[in-house]
Amino acid sequence: MEVIDATIRLIGEPACTIEDLMLDVKGRISHSSMIYGRAGIYQAYKTGRGSIIMRCRTEIEKVQGSNDREQIVVTELPYQVNKARLHAKIGELMRDKRIEASRKPATRATATACASCSS
């Protein structure tokens, strides 16, 4: 819808700038992830080349049976992200102590529990 709005603006105002078109293009996507920042979108429209960084959608849930522990749950992965490779990368970050966690990452049928953290 955003690109259609920008196209209509461009047809109505052929001299409009990329900045004008970016008023219509917010960076929302229809599949299951979020675009991180708008600079890549802007660069792609301006030069035809750009790098768009995607993030998983996550939720923080309380660990059942515990009053003070929480876990980060990845609920939606960006397009073409391999769940097994993501799981392995999270395990590597935990081993390198870049993510603080009290147990290993776990996989569920509908989501990936990334790390259990103490609050």
Residue 112 has pLDDT above 70, yes or no: no
Mean pLDDT of 74-102: 84
**Which residues face 31 on adjacent strands?**
none
How many angstroms separate the Cα of 9 from the Cα of each of 19, 28, 46, 85? 12, 18, 16, 41
For 11-63, write each residue's pLDDT tens digit.
999 999 888 888 877 766 555 567 777 788 788 878 888 888 888 888 888 88
108 phi and psi angles, rounded to 5 deg: -115, 170
Q: What is the value of pTM for the model shown? A: 0.57
Band (pLDDT 50/70/90 cuts) for residue 78 is confident
- 76, burial (CB in 10 Å: exposed 0-12, middle 13-18, buried 19+): middle
- Matching residue, tokens 């979108």: 41
Q: Which two tokens stand for residue 45?
A: 């429209």
pLDDT at residue 11, as a whole number: 94
